[in-house]
Amino acid sequence: MKKGCSYGTHRVIEPKGTLPQPAQKIDNTMEIYDNEILIDVQTLNIDSASFTQIKEQANGDVEKIKDIMMDIVKTRGKHQNPVTGSGGMLIGTVEKIGPALEGKTDLKVGDKIATLVSLSLTPLRIDEILEVRKNIDQVDIKGKAILFESGIYAVIPDDIPENLALSVLDVAGAPAQTAKLVKPGDTVVVIGGAGKSGMLCLYEAKKRAGVTGTVICLGHSEKSIERAKKADLADHYIVADATNAVEVMEKVKEVTEGDMADITINCVNVPNTEMASILATKDDGMVYFFSMATSFTKAALGAEGVGKDINMIIGNGYTKGHAKISLQIMRENETLRKIYEELYA
Amino acid sequence: MKKGCSYGTHRVIEPKGTLPQPAQKIDNTMEIYDNEILIDVQTLNIDSASFTQIKEQANGDVEKIKDIMMDIVKTRGKHQNPVTGSGGMLIGTVEKIGPALEGKTDLKVGDKIATLVSLSLTPLRIDEILEVRKNIDQVDIKGKAILFESGIYAVIPDDIPENLALSVLDVAGAPAQTAKLVKPGDTVVVIGGAGKSGMLCLYEAKKRAGVTGTVICLGHSEKSIERAKKADLADHYIVADATNAVEVMEKVKEVTEGDMADITINCVNVPNTEMASILATKDDGMVYFFSMATSFTKAALGAEGVGKDINMIIGNGYTKGHAKISLQIMRENETLRKIYEELYA
């Protein structure tokens, strides 16, 4: 049996010397190396920005969506959208564990797990696409995947249904980072607050900011805002177009009485919302970009152009304990759990 | 006197609701609002991409260059090249300061300043073009410009020649951010350490990390590294290909005896160096991306993919005092000043 690198560099086909994520193409042969785990895949949870792009390219046609997905995996050996660069995650059953992992992993054959590393670096083979659930970015397949030694995962808990757990784990980084960033008394704006990751961020923000803090939910429509209101996730609700920086600034100014946000969390997966995030934030404040539609240069040059001395963070999908933190929300908030079950599970 | 918005939205003619930079046309009347600064312009430093386009369109004819420039400003109210979208910066003398800025700005009438916001958002009126210096993209004019309240600038110091000052100011954000981030005892890696912004970052990193810290310069060739060595900017020098994450990781591991970096600063303007930056950094460390070639998704998903819990920052070209901090380097380090004069001024 061949020996593998813990980061999976042994699977990179081109360009050589890179890691599996930035690689153009990786080897998706399903014969495992000594430190790999083989997964029998049940469901792919495609990254929201990626799936939106695929749906648009396919004009919503399910068969075309399937073709595009099959083509991505055939070309790259992984489900990394060539336009957005992003992936998603998967759920499946452990089928084989490489001998070099013995004593190193607590996984056993038959465990149902969600991989918490991106599909953009996960060797994947799709034999057949069984069902496309367009509204929740989930696709059931027949196929296999490989988890590298450094790859993170979560065993699906008994008290939370699979699809619900998967939906939550998909965006686990955002609420966990929020939990770590927000301090008592902070004013927090969540742009895209009524969305999948936005609602979890709001919940954590309110929990951490506490009674002395102010949490503001910004959504694109009254209808979406209603969801967040039902779960009582924020102190203020704003309906605004996140691509209109001036409108967002004025509305945040109004509810904060001119103070603006200590922390702005961008969870809205549409382009050109960098400037709204920057202008919503006070000087010396922080913008946490979780949206995969964020443009690095628009953020960097945008802040410079308006002379804003703020800390802008690239949302890291991983932080210690992120799976535990986010799954716990489903146990703590019954209303939010119901919303999640209706919309995403 | 009319009250203005700090970002200059009151000057936007069309389309309404946008900021001055994306606007098609802004108001370049030289009657100031209460929070604006009127500048008597001496020289426009046209963005290199823009000036190249203008010269080509004019077939190198100076009178035609003048006509094109006059026409841009007449049409848009600012010198934003309609083809490249870019602007440049200007040098001039403060002529009037709006009363709302009293006590807020340290500028006084008569100060010679360089504006550090783009000409693509600066209201400008050109009365006459005096001289076109085709080789260095500089144009002397008779005219006026407006600096918004949020607009950043630097007072040109007496002891640093104008062209040298401009070169340093162009990359001022990086060393100033470095100065603020690095703490005594830190291990700092600067990727692209022998480049224009990299050398200034190394200098600040060494100054702040002090005798208990370790500063590492990573460059792409022995020749470029020689420059940094001559100015004694680092404790260790590594020659490596920054797009080869594994190579960079191994070499940083070697010089840090397995510890890796507390802070990695990426100043190398080539794509696909996100992963090297991430792998060079220890868990709970920080990566500061100053390179404009940084891909947001490659950084975000890259860290997640290898399970690294690190803080990744989008390099903001502006931070308070960035001009002062960076210009001071030219006074403190004679060798570095000479290198800068030779290469960039």
Q: How do the pLDDT tens digits run along chain B, 345 residues long? A: 899 999 999 999 998 888 999 899 999 999 999 999 999 999 998 988 889 899 999 999 999 999 999 999 999 999 999 988 888 899 999 999 999 998 999 999 999 999 998 899 999 999 999 999 988 888 999 999 999 999 999 999 999 998 899 889 988 999 999 999 999 999 999 999 999 999 999 999 999 999 999 999 999 999 999 999 999 999 999 999 999 999 999 999 999 999 999 999 999 988 899 999 999 999 999 999 998 889 998 999 889 888 889 999 999 888 999 999 999 999 999 999 999 999 887
Mutate to test the interface with A, among B122, B177, B296 (most CBs of A within 10 A): B296
The runs of H, that is alpha helices, within chain B are 48-57, 62-76, 162-170, 173-181, 196-209, 222-230, 245-255, 274-279, 296-305, 322-332, 334-344
* Domain map (residue ranges) of chain A: 9-156, 173-344
List the Cα angle A87/A92/A97 in 5-degree steps: 105
CA-to-CA distance for B64 and B57, rounded, in angstroms? 8
Cβ–Cβ below 8 Å for B289 and A314: yes
pLDDT digits (tens, 9 = 90+) for B56-98: 999 999 999 999 999 999 999 999 999 888 888 999 999 999 9
According to the model, what pLDDT value does residue A136 have? 87
A296/B246 Cβ within 8 A: no
Q: How far apart are CA A264 and CA A178, in angstroms?
A: 10
Q: What is the pLDDT of residue B219?
A: 97
Of B9, B21, B296, the CB nearest to A296: B296
Ranking A36-40, A201-205, A257-261, B269-273 by mean pLDDT, the lowest is B269-273
pLDDT for A320 equals 87
Q: Could you report the predicted ipTM of this complex, rounded to two decimals?
A: 0.86
What is the pLDDT, as a whole number, of residue A8? 94
pLDDT for A155-207, tens place per residue?
899 899 988 998 899 899 999 999 999 999 999 999 999 999 999 999 999 99
Chain B contacts of A295, Cβ < 8 Å? 296
Give the per-residue pLDDT at A178.
Answer: 97
A1 pLDDT higher than 90? no
User: In A, which residues are within 8 Å of B314 by CB distance?
Assistant: 289, 296, 299-300, 312-314
Q: Do A150 and B21 touch (CB under 8 A)?
A: no
Contact list in A for residue B292 (CB cut-off 8 A) is 296-297, 300
Residue where the block lists tokens 């981030």: B181
pLDDT at residue number B226: 95
| pLDDT for the residue B181 | 95
Helices B196-209, B322-332: inter-axial angle, 10-degree rounding: 80
Beta strands in B98-206 (DSSP E): 112-115, 124-133, 138-147, 153-155, 187-191
Tokens at B144, concatenated: 């006026």
CB contact under 8 A, A314 and B306: no
Contact assignment for A151 to B307 by CB distance below 8 Å: yes
User: Inter-chain contact A303–B313, Cβ cutoff 8 Å?
Assistant: no
| Distance, CA of B242 to CA of B46 (rounded, Å) | 31
Q: Between A135 and B184, where is the model more confident?
A: B184
Least confident of A133-137, A284-288, B53-57: A133-137
CB within 8 Å: B305 and A19:
yes
HEC secondary structure over A140-201: EEEEEEEECCCCCEEECCCCCCHHHHHHHHHCCHHHHHHHHHCCCCCEEEEECCCCHHHHHH
Residue A327 has what pLDDT?
95
Q: What are phi and psi of B21, to 5 degrees?
A: -70, -50
Asked if A309's CB is within 8 angstroms of B313's CB, the reply is no
What residue in A sits closest to B248 (Cα-Cα)?
A17
With a cut of 90, say whether residue A305 has pLDDT above it: no
Q: What is the mean pLDDT of chain A?
A: 94
| Predicted model pTM | 0.86
Q: In chain A, count H helices and then E strands.
A: 11, 14
Please name the residue that has the structure tokens 């939205």. B9
Name every chain A residue with its beta carbon within 8 A of the beta carbon of B147.
none
Average pLDDT value for residue range A236-261: 96
Mutation target vs A (from B306, B308, B319, B320; most A CBs, 10 A cutoff)? B306
Q: Is the pLDDT of residue A17 over 80?
A: no
Q: Which of B147, B297, B310, B311 to mutate to test the interface with A (most CBs of A within 10 A)?
A: B297
How far, in Å, are B189, B228, B245, B256 from residue B236 at the CA level?
9, 10, 19, 9
How close B193 gets to chain A, by Cα (Å)?
Answer: 20
Measured in angstroms, the CA of A121 and the nearest CA of chain B are apart by: 7
- Closest partner residue to A316 (CB to CB) among B241, B295, B304 is B304
Cβ pairs A/B, distance under 8 A: 158
Radius of gyration of chain A (CA): 20
Output the pLDDT for position B67. 97
Chosen from A21, A117, A281 to mutate, greatest number of chain B CBs within 10 A: A21
Residue contact A86–B297, C-beta within 8 A: yes
Q: Could you give the CA distance from residue B312 to residue B6 in angstroms, rounded to a whole number?
A: 29
Q: Which range, of A223-237, A255-269, B8-22, B139-153, averages the lowest pLDDT?
A: B8-22
What tokens were used for B289?
A: 């991306």
User: What homologous superfamily is domain B173-344 in, according to CATH?
Assistant: Medium-chain alcohol dehydrogenases, catalytic domain (3.90.180.10)
Q: Which residue has the tokens 């202008």?
A: A279
* Closest in A120, A151, A245 to B301, CB measured: A120
Say what the pLDDT of residue A232 is.
Answer: 95
From the list B301, B302, B316, the residue facing A312 with the nearest CB is B316
B29 token code pair:
């009347």
Q: How much is the pLDDT for B214?
A: 98
Sheet holding B153-155, edge to edge: B124-133, B138-147, B37-46, B88-97, B112-115, B153-155
